[in-house]
């Protein structure tokens, strides 16, 4: 293997130890898709123009206290009217791929009725503009913004009635764009929108009910499988897969009880969704725990046939950080260390009343805790580049599918100087470290199709307004003032431009 150096050492008991590090890492594939990403609600604006219907986020953002200082996506960064300008910056950067999502209610305003041709035209024009500028479109079908009409009529993802509506929506896009779009993403971060929407009430529909959460999650799985099956019929030359918010789980110590806790957490947090995506079956361990609590989803024989029939062509992975656990707090209550007490300020499980904690499926399985070896962002997210490599390795080992990194990035407070510059060295450092680890994972044997940084322009953070910025391109606006909406490339824009030009060859 290129750059591989194998060392043979003798251990303390005389046994031979073999390990490897890379003196020089393999190059990225020549056709590697260097990209960036976005989501419709967070950038488009034009929330009620050209026949678009309201989405659940259009309504949820009006609930007092649900979003930072009442921010919403009615204007966002006005990508709907400025997409050609934004794509011109993508071309200047040298972007090879751009991941975007389609607003379901822009294509079918009520979610299941008449198709809005103006909505379809917008996305076809967007795709044509990308192709004209040499950029591969990566289309996400669902990025959290269900039509409000379906939520009102059926209860959203809690009803199987939504599945044929989603299928109709997907079919409209498949038929219109199948000759222009190769890469398609079904669901974005199902693990996030179901838990925040149906457990913690931080996203729409603002429910706090575990049984309803697992029921809705199962319906989403069925909709995902339905879309993949239809896609393989209608778009035989395309590739499709879901995007999952993956983070590897570590044991706090080598204590076997902590190792077991990490196994439990990996199964509960990751296998629960990924096994269904890739194998069509729910992991038996987690299902059994949910059955004991009376909150497991009802899976019919027909459901099982559908789930096993729909295999993704790749897995989209959104990576930001993983998690660390120790033995559950029931068997070892003395593990309530000062570290854990500090962590409880942000751990939703520990913020629950004691009687609710007892009903949480996590409590008897594992105990989430801070990782003492990792630094954090200003928003309290752990920074773990090596975990990125661990994540990619685990995905490859367990499911042996190509991986498309569909999100990875740093949210930060960016300062615009008087001469209109944004010096975001912290973002460059973050991305550089993660790209190096991704490159190592490719050298390890992981097949990675491409990498879409989050995000291309600044955008509306779902719950943090415009204070938390992710983009390579600064957008001149804040929570209270749309200002000029001027696009201003940051230092990271020019850094990534060079990375793309060199195909990642000189990452340090």
Residue appearing with tokens 């993949």: 228
pLDDT of residue 211: 96
Q: Is the pLDDT of residue 354 over 80?
A: no
For 259-291, write each residue's pLDDT tens digit.
999 999 999 999 999 999 999 999 999 999 999
| Element spanning 475, H or E | strand 473-475
List the catalytic residue out of 407, 418, 447, 502.
Answer: 407
Contact 419, 368 (CB under 8 A): no
Residue appearing with tokens 């500028």: 133
CATH number of this structure's domain 4-246+270-320+372-501:
3.20.20.80
Establish whether 486 is a catalytic residue: no
Q: Where are the beta strands (DSSP E) in 377-469?
A: 382-383, 403-407, 448-454
pLDDT of residue 345: 39
Largest CA distance in the chain: 74
At 12, give phi and psi (nearest 5°).
Answer: -65, -25
For 408-447, write each residue's pLDDT tens digit.
999 999 999 999 999 999 999 999 999 999 999 999 999 9
pLDDT of residue 12: 45
Q: Is the pLDDT of residue 204 over 50?
A: yes
CA distance 476 to 478: 7
Between 170-174, 203-207, 332-336, 352-356, the lowest mean confidence (pLDDT) is in: 352-356
């Amino acid at each position: 293997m290129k750059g591989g150096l194998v060392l043979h050492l003798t251990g303390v008991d005389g046994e031979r130890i073999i390990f490897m590090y890379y003196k020089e890492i393999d190059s990225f594939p020549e056709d590697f898709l260097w990209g960036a990403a976005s989501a419709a609600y967070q950038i488009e604006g034009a929330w009620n123009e050209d026949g678009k219907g309201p989405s659940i986020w259009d309504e949820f953002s009006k609930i007092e206290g649900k979003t930072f200082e009442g921010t919403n996506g009615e204007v966002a960064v006005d990508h709907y009217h400025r997409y050609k300008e934004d794509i011109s910056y993508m071309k200047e950067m040298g972007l090879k791929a751009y991941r975007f999502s389609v607003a379901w209610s822009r294509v079918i305003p009520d979610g299941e009725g008449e198709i809005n041709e103006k909505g379809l035209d917008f996305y076809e024009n967007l795709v044509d503009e990308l192709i004209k500028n040499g950029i591969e479109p990566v289309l996400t079908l669902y990025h959290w913004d269900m039509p409000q009409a379906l939520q009102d009529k059926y209860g959203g993802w809690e009803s199987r009635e939504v599945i044929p509506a989603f299928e109709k929506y997907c079919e409209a896009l498949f038929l219109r764009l199948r000759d222009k779009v190769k890469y398609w993403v079904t669901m974005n971060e199902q693990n996030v929108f179901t838990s925040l929407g149906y457990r913690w009430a931080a996203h729409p529909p603002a429910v706090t009910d575990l049984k309803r959460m697992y029921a809705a999650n199962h319906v989403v799985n069925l909709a995902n499988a339905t879309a993949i099956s239809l896609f393989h019929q209608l778009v035989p030359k395309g590739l499709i897969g879901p995007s999952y918010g993956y983070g590897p789980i570590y044991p706090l110590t080598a204590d076997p009880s902590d190792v077991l806790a990490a196994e439990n957490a990996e199964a509960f947090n990751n296998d629960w969704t990924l096994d269904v995506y890739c194998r069509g079956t729910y992991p038996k361990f987690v299902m059994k725990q949910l059955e004991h609590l009376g909150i497991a989803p009802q899976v019919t024989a027909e459901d099982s046939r559908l789930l096993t029939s729909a295999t993704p062509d790749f897995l989209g992975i959104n990576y930001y950080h993983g998690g660390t656990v120790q033995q559950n707090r029931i068997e070892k209550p003395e593990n309530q260390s000062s570290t854990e007490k500090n962590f409880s300020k942000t751990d939703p499980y520990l913020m629950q009343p004691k009687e609710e904690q007892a009903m949480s499926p996590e409590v008897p399985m594992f105990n989430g805790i801070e990782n003492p070896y990792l630094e954090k962002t200003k928003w309290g997210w752990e920074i773990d580049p090596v975990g990125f490599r661990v994540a990619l390795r685990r995905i490859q080992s367990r499911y042996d599918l190509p991986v498309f990194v569909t999100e990875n990035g740093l949210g930060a407070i960016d300062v615009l100087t008087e001469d209109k510059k944004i010096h975001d060295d912290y973002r460059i450092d973050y991305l550089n470290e993660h790209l190096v680890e991704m490159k190592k994972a490719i050298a390890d044997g992981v097949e990675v199709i491409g990498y879409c940084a989050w995000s291309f322009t600044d955008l509306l953070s779902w719950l943090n307004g415009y204070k938390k910025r992710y983009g390579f391109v600064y957008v001149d606006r804040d929570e209270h003032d749309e200002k000029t909406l001027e696009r201003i490339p940051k230092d990271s824009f020019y850094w990534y431009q060079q990375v793309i030009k060199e195909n990642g060859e000189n990452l340090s």
